[in-house]
Each structure stands twice: as structure tokens, then as C-alpha cells.
């Protein structure tokens, strides 16, 4: 195969053999074996991606490389090849809640960040109430001692006044020094600070499921813009597949927001996620502008499979029909025991990729009134909307240890990923198909009766699912 021309573009080649080795892939591509590199390792490194790199994704049956038009046509006629598809640009599927609902942003053109972590009382009062069980007895004893000293001083004043006037000293009746125990109002101890429960978490009935399961130790990979450090999140690990970027830190905020919906901790501050005890992994497949390439997403999916993730949450996509590379990658994840959840899309039109891939739980967005959001994608070719979840003005974790409301099917998707984590923790032996069927069979019907192209089977119900 000749050297790629400058006018060429990068493609994804998907093979008939899903377990094809890099050596066999080189034969199909008609290139030397030493040109083929492990796609996951290369993208995970700080090495920039150039046109000469040929990436192979072991276990997903696909490779990424630059091809000319003629080379594309030749490969399409090769029986060893299922598809040759452009390396699509992929984007986040959620944004500022006010902007997506047609409202203006703040004065400087950007949304306000706010921190809901507020003290119930000021510091002196807080210190007073945290002195322990002996505080009240000590307080009463101090008041009694003060009362006795006041009586002593009053007796001395009588004696001194009589002596200075020259009058016969009249001994007044001595006031009793026996301390009189004052009657004190009872100290009202402040109530324990309770974890605020956001409306969206209540809507999917996650709190009712927590006595049975909180998703403990279930590994959930968030394929997104990364996850930023946050006091309301615990990140168990991760990787970056943005070329030249080794940190999975989130410079955008989208991935951090989605992570909070899945598993923000139940710690009396901020928000709480659907599965607060799950293990969240940050898989950065989109850059800090919120975009990326199909090859980066495939690398993240391959990493999730290799590292034993049990749930994958993808609040990302492109407005395209079903993609063969996604189809194979999803099949391989499902075969490895990993539930795949994806946002349906924000076009209001057909469900986009990867949500339209067979086996994916495709999630639509509803508002606080359980009405589908106008932007929520529905219908189309391939996989349809599976289920619905809150996706309008959802408040969750954000950059700089803050919180922010955002809207999009991106926000709906992690609710269902959290629901899958609850089920996996409660029924560890269940397969991805069993978990999907349970989520579908227990959903609360919305829209026209039964399964429909707008709401799918209806609203996620974590309580009914985990019964």
C-alpha cells in the first residue's frame, strides 16, 4: 500500500474477525507489521498522533489509519473487512442549563458557578454545640458559681456603706450564700446535617433503593472529558486517550458533572449520585473543548474492557447512523460483562451514534414534569431510545469544587448508568442483558402506553428495579 497522500484522511477499518491480531491486520492493510501500533498504549502516552501512525485496537476488531480514496475502495471490497468509516468527530451531549433552555447567561456571558455547601450556623455557635456530653453540666455549674459570687459582693457592699456614713453599724440580715440552682432553658441541640437530595435523584427513586444497594464497589467508567478533583467525588483511577494528554483531569466540566450524577458521595454536602458507593473511573476521550474522534472513543472502550469495567457511561456522540466500529466494540464489552449506556442525542431527531448501536441502553431526557425535552433525540435507524431519565437543569459536581445545573441527554445517561451499578451490586451474577431487561421491565411508563420512540419504556425507577 503506498504512503498516504497529504489530502487523505483518517479512517476506522473494522474487520470480520473481531479478535484479529495486529500482525493479521497489517496483512489486510497491506503494510509492514512494524507500522502497526497498539492504539490504547499510543493514545494513552504523551506522544502526539501523526498521519503515519497506524493504531490497532486489540479485542475490538478495528484499526485506525490514514487512507487515500483509492485505498478505501480497495478495502471495502476485501471480504476480511466489514466496514471502512471516517474517523468521526464526536462531541459532548449536554451544556449550560440556561443556554439550552433559551435563557440568557450572566453578565459576563458565562454561567454562574455556585457552591451549595453552607453552614447551618456560624462558627462560635458550632463550636459551642460540639463540646461533648459534659458541656451542659459544666455550663450550669458556671452559672451557679457566678450567682454565689454576686451574693457575696452584695453583703460586702452593705457593710462598707454603713461604716463610711458614721452611723451606727446596723447589721443587715445576711443574704444567704447557699447557691440557688438557676432554672435554665434546655439547650436545643442542632439537628444532624442531612445530605441534600436533588430533585432528579428523587425522581428516579434512588434513595428508596439505597437500603438494599448503593452500588458498592461496582466499577463504572465515565468516557468523557475527564473528571476533576472534587470534595464530593472519589476517583478510583482512569486514563486519557486524547493524543498528547496523559492526565485524565477535566478542563471542561462535562465529565465531572456526569460523574456526580452517577456517584457523588452521600456525605452531607453538595449533591449525591444514584449509586454513591460505586467506583468511578475517569476515561478522558474528549478534549477540554468537549470534542474528540471516534478512534479516541474506541481506545477508551478497549481500556474499559481490558480493565474489567462493569458499566460504561457515554454522554457523547455524533449525528450519524449506526457505526460498524461502535457495533463491534459494544458487542465485545457486553461479552466481557460490561453494561453500555449512552446518551440518545440532542438533535430532537434520530438517535445518534453510539447510542444507536445494538445492545446499548440509549437514554432520552425528561424535565421535572416528566415531559421529554424538546432537544432529546428519538426514533431513527438502528437502536431506538431504551429508557428515559432527568436531563433538564440537573445540578451536579463541576470544576473548582463547585456545582452547576446542566441540560442534555448527557445528564440523563449517567442516571441510568448509576441504576445499572445499583443492580450489578445487588445481583453480581447478572449479565448486561439481564440488567438492561430489569431496568426496562420496571420503568414507569411515559408518553403513549408501552414502548415508544420518544420515551422508550419510560422513566428509570431504581426502587422497583432493585426490589
Selecting among 58, 87, 96, 224, the annotated active-site residue is 224
Q: 96 and 81 share a domain?
A: no
Q: Over 60: is that where the pLDDT of 159 sits?
A: no
Check if 254 is active-site. Answer: yes
Residue 453 belongs to some domain of the structure: yes
Domain boundary (63, 87, 111) is at 87
Return the number of other C-beta atoms located less than 10 Å from residue 314's C-beta.
Answer: 31
Taking only the tens place, the pLDDT of each residue in 232-291 is 999 999 999 999 999 999 999 999 999 999 999 999 889 999 999 999 999 999 999 999
Top pLDDT among 72 and 177 is at: 72
Q: Provide the greatest CA pair distance for the chain.
A: 129
Q: 288 and 371 share a domain?
A: yes
d(CA 201, CA 250): 23
Q: 380 and 420 share a domain?
A: yes
Return the number of other C-beta atoms located less than 10 Å from residue 147's C-beta.
Answer: 13
Q: 99 and 14 share a domain?
A: no
Q: 272 and 287 share a domain?
A: yes
Residue 20 belongs to some domain of the structure: yes
Residue 255 belongs to some domain of the structure: yes
Lowest mean pLDDT among 41-55, 141-155, 171-185: 141-155
Residue 272 belongs to some domain of the structure: yes
Q: Over 50: is that where the pLDDT of 309 sits?
A: yes
Q: 78 and 212 share a domain?
A: no
d(CA 373, CA 355): 17
Domain boundary (87, 119, 140) is at 87
For residue 404, give its domain range: 91-103+198-465
Supply the CATH number for residue 264's domain: 3.40.50.200
User: Locate cell 468509516: which residue?
Assistant: 85
Taking only the tens place, the pLDDT of each residue in 243-252 is 999 999 999 9
Domain boundary (87, 112, 132) is at 87
H or E segment at 404?
strand 403-407
Check if 410 is active-site. Answer: yes
Supply the CATH number for residue 27's domain: 3.30.70.80
pTM across the whole model: 0.81
Residue 432 belongs to some domain of the structure: yes
Selecting among 254, 377, 393, 407, the annotated active-site residue is 254
Q: Over 80: is that where the pLDDT of 378 sits?
A: yes
d(CA 387, CA 403): 26
Domain count within the chain: 2
Selecting among 318, 393, 410, 415, the annotated active-site residue is 410
Residue 176 belongs to some domain of the structure: no
Residue 174 belongs to some domain of the structure: no
Residue 193 belongs to some domain of the structure: no
H or E segment at 220?
strand 219-224
Q: 57 and 98 share a domain?
A: no
Sheet holding 95-96, edge to edge: 95-96, 403-407, 394-397
Helix (H, G, I), strand (E, B) or coil at 407: strand
Check if 407 is active-site. Answer: no
Amino acid at each position: 500500500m503506498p504512503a498516504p497522500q497529504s489530502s487523505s484522511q483518517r479512517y476506522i477499518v473494522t474487520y470480520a474477525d473481531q479478535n484479529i491480531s495486529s500482525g493479521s491486520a497489517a496483512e489486510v492493510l497491506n503494510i509492514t507489521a512494524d507500522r502497526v501500533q497498539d492504539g490504547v498504549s499510543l493514545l494513552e502516552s504523551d506522544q502526539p498522533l501523526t498521519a503515519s501512525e497506524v493504531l490497532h485496537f486489540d479485542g475490538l476488531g478495528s484499526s485506525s489509519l490514514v487512507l487515500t480514496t483509492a485505498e478505501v475502495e480497495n478495502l471495502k471490497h476485501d471480504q476480511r473487512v466489514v466496514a471502512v468509516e471516517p474517523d468521526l468527530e464526536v462531541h459532548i451531549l449536554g451544556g449550560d442549563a440556561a443556554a439550552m433552555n433559551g435563557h440568557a447567561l450572566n453578565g459576563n456571558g458565562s454561567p454562574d458557578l455556585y457552591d451549595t455547601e453552607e453552614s447551618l450556623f456560624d462558627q462560635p455557635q458550632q463550636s459551642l454545640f460540639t463540646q461533648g456530653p459534659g458541656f451542659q453540666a459544666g455550663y450550669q455549674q458556671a452559672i451557679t458559681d457566678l450567682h454565689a459570687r454576686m451574693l457575696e459582693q452584695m453583703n460586702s457592699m452593705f457593710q462598707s456603706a454603713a461604716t463610711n456614713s458614721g452611723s451606727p453599724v446596723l447589721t443587715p440580715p445576711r443574704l444567704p450564700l447557699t447557691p440557688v440552682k438557676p432554672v435554665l432553658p434546655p439547650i436545643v441541640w442542632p439537628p444532624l446535617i442531612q445530605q441534600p437530595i436533588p430533585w432528579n435523584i428523587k425522581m428516579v427513586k434512588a434513595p428508596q433503593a439505597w437500603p438494599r444497594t448503593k452500588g458498592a464497589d461496582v466499577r463504572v467508567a465515565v468516557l468523557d472529558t475527564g473528571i476533576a478533583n472534587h470534595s464530593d467525588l472519589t476517583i478510583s483511577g482512569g486514563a486519557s486517550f486524547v493524543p498528547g494528554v496523559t492526565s485524565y483531569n477535566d478542563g471542561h466540566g462535562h465529565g465531572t458533572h456526569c460523574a456526580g450524577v452517577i456517584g457523588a458521595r452521600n456525605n452531607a454536602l453538595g449533591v449525591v449520585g444514584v449509586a454513591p458507593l460505586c467506583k468511578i473511573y475517569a476515561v478522558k476521550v474528549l478534549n477540554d473543548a468537549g470534542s474528540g474522534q471516534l478512534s479516541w472513543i474506541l481506545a477508551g472502550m478497549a481500556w474499559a474492557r481490558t480493565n474489567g469495567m462493569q458499566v460504561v457511561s457515554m454522554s457523547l456522540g455524533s449525528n450519524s447512523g449506526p457505526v460498524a466500529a461502535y457495533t463491534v466494540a459494544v458487542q465485545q464489552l457486553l461479552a466481557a460483562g460490561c453494561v453500555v449506556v449512552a446518551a440518545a442525542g440532542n438533535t430532537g431527531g434520530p438517535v445518534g451514534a453510539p447510542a444507536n448501536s445494538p445492545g446499548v441502553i440509549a437514554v432520552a431526557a425528561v424535565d421535572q414534569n416528566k415531559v421529554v425535552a424538546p432537544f432529546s433525540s428519538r426514533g431513527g435507524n438502528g437502536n431506538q431510545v431504551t429508557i428515559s431519565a432527568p436531563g433538564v437543569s440537573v445540578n451536579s459536581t463541576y470544576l473548582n469544587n463547585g456545582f452547576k445545573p446542566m441540560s442534555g441527554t448527557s445528564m440523563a445517561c449517567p442516571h441510568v448508568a448509576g441504576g445499572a451499578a445499583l443492580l450489578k451490586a445487588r445481583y453480581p451474577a447478572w449479565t448486561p442483558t439481564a440488567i438492561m431487561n430489569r431496568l426496562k421491565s420496571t420503568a414507569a411508563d411515559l408518553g403513549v402506553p408501552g414502548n415508544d420512540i420518544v420515551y422508550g419504556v419510560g422513566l428509570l425507577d431504581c426502587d422497583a428495579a432493585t426490589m
